[in-house]
A and B are shown apart, each in its own frame.
Chain A
Amino acid sequence: MEFNKDFGVFGGQFVPETLMNVLKVLEKEFKEYCYSDEFKRDYMYYMKQYVGRPSVLYYAERLTKALGGAKIYLKREDLNHTGAHKINNAIAQALLAKKMGKTKVIAETGAGQHGVATATVAALFDMECRVFMGVEDIERQKLNVFRMELLGAKVVPVTSGTGTLKDATNEAIRTWVAEAEDTFYILGSAVGPHPYPTMVREFQKIIGQETRKQMLEMEGRLPNKVYACVGGGSNSIGMFYPFIEDKDVELIGVEAAGHGIETGEHASGFAPDARIGVLHGMKTYLLQDDDGQIKTAYSISAGLDYPGVGPEHAYLHDIGRVKYTSIKDDESIDAFRTLCKYEGIMPAIESSHALAEAMKDAPNMDKDDIIVVCLSGRGDKDVNTVAKYLGKEI
């Protein structure tokens, strides 16, 4: 396997020199080990026996009928162990870490899903685990903090910058620079310096591969449109990648518009006020102020609250292969409640963004058309947020 460090003009390795040999070793081990029969066997073993894959591709019949248009299928990543797609990547990176002889893992987390996934695999593979989390997020996501601690991880509060995901990621990278000899950085999104965006895609593409196969089995053809939410973009790149060559399949990435793009309080890396810059070791579209300082993203969904997009998404955007759009807080909560009502499924607020966009399009499509929505995670973690949004005390 050969991978380029760049996706067009995006990506790259914008990191201190101290990390360059570390990244080179990581890339070499990734290319050798992760395409070996040994890795494939172990990865698939854990995907099946531990995560519960393949995840279901579910025909949402009542929702389809209520909207009266295209048939809606849901890729149920929410049914994975730990409740989201994050575990696919965390297991693969932990296997790689073990192979490389690392005894400790570190991770960044915003909402806590990737932190929980990393704490989980660290317990499974008996590795010491530290999760960096912004102080703001620790306050907002107390339940996940406690979950990580129960799983044996140490949650390290990050006070620098704005105390959110972007700062937690900076701190994880800084720590990694100092401790790379025995520590593996399990990065959760399709971001960071090469080879991370490629690794995360390779470890998440199982979502799209399964979907493609299941669709052919169930309907005998590929879907017209596929939707997935985009923060950094790990579930979406995993869902989209196996469909890239299927030119008739329209791919739609859904970012968070927060209070509305025009308010400036959003998390859309493709918004008019986003520009090309460098963050977390990669060149990509980023929210920046007039002077190029990175702005804080805003979304009701902590998992989409990232001031940029993964570099491969930036590339897919510029070549026009994936269409990117955005959904506001209120629209995502409407979609969340709609799915609860019609299907008895409580989606993560992140995934509700993808669902909301699909629900806008479905009524305007033909009854024979098929759409797939990546339900990247379950919404149990969001119950407090939704209650607060609806003005309810629980």
Chain B
Amino acid sequence: MNRIDEKFAQLKAEGKKALIPYICSGDPDCGSTERLVYALEEAGADIIELGVPFSDPLADGPVIQAASVRSLSGGFKIRFVFDIVRSVRKKSQIPLAIMIYYSSILGYGKEKFVKECIDSGVDGLIIPDLPYEEYDEMLPVLEGTELYMIPLIALTSNDRIPMLVKNAKGFIYCVSSLGVTGERKEFDSRVDSFVARVKECTDTPACIGFGISRKEDTERFGKIADGCIVGSAIIRRINETGCDIEKVKEFVKGLK
């Protein structure tokens, strides 16, 4: 059974919601990324999203863009993410999803990429620039595997929602805002009805991401969704504290 499914089954039984932190692999270095994974798990993370830095991250705001630049200027290579996952898997079975832009998968080689994901112990893929119309690029190589492609659904998806959630595995990534990743003080007024619509259309867990940075956000969205994804707020603290693992841990604990 896929670790993401196991986790949500467990959370459901306990009546809890998922906390899904996002960190950028290799920011500030790969050793830190591995240590951060353990720290995040200890802080109560249920699933961890490992970002793979790309030179042209179209869906990301300034904080994650800057993290990508730091990682790449430190010499990060795509294959390092598998090294990180292999190391983590020796100590932890926390579900791991990789967030990666499609160009990087193409450059690495689709088949090789998927094989290494499976061999190293990755559970899900989030590809922010691969919309439904382009799924055929990936679905054939994922067929018959336990590696899930997590669909992203947007505020503007409207009539596309039933099509997008059909056959969804793992969880559904509901994008809370128009625009790019990054902390926000206010959310779009449509977000509640949007998540409700997604929940009506599927039994697959629905989690909310983009703009979530505070405990009041996770509490608010915990009422309507199955979990929250927090990225920029954590990455900002990693950077501001010079990657002080304890301080990052404290912050993430405070989100629960």
Contact = CB atoms under 8 A, between A and B. Distances in A.
B45 to A, nearest CB: 24
A157 B186 CA distance: 26
B58 A16 contact: yes
A279 B160 contact: no
Interface stretch (A108-116, A211-219, A241-249, A291-299): A291-299
Interface string A297-310: 00000000000000
A390 interface: no
A173 interface: yes
A160 interface: yes
Contacts of B128: 16
Contact of A279 (B56, B134, B155): B56
A174 B102 contact: no
19 contacts: A12-B134, A14-B130, A16-B59, A17-B132, A19-B131, A20-B160, A21-B157, A161-B65, A170-B57, A173-B58, A177-B178, A179-B179, A180-B156, A180-B178, A278-B129, A280-B56, A291-B78, A293-B104, A294-B55
Interface in B73-101: 77-78, 101
A174 B157 contact: no
B162 interface: no
A383 interface: no
Contacts, number: 121
Interface in A1-52: 5, 12-22
B56 A161 contact: yes
Contact of A17 (B57, B62, B157, B180): B157
Contact of B179 (A5, A160, A161, A174): A174
A17 B106 contact: no
Contact of B72 (A22, A280, A293): A293
Nearest to B128: A16
A278 B62 CA distance: 21
A93 interface: no
B156 A170 contact: no
Main secondary structure of the interface of A (DSSP, over half): mixed
A17 B107 contact: no
Interface string B34-56: 00000000000000000000111
A279 B133 CA distance: 17
A290 to B, nearest CB: 8
Nearest to B177: A178
Given A17-B164, A20-B156, A21-B157, 9 more contacts: A12-B134, A14-B130, A14-B134, A16-B128, A16-B131, A21-B158, A166-B56, A174-B180, A283-B106
Interface in A252-298: 275-281, 283, 286, 288, 291-294
Determine the interface band of chain A, counting residues with CB < 8 A from chain B: 35 or more
B158 A15 contact: no
Interface of A: 5, 12-22, 160-161, 166-167, 170, 173-175, 177-180, 275-281, 283, 286, 288, 291-294
A172 to B, nearest CB: 11
Given A21-B157, A177-B178, A178-B179, A292 B129 contact: no
A286 B101 CA distance: 15
A277 B100 CA distance: 13
Contacts of B179: 18, 174-175, 177-179
Given A160-B65, A278-B103, A18 B154 contact: yes
Contacts of B175: 16-18
Contacts of A170: 56-58
A13 B134 contact: yes
Contact of B180 (A161, A177, A275, A283): A177
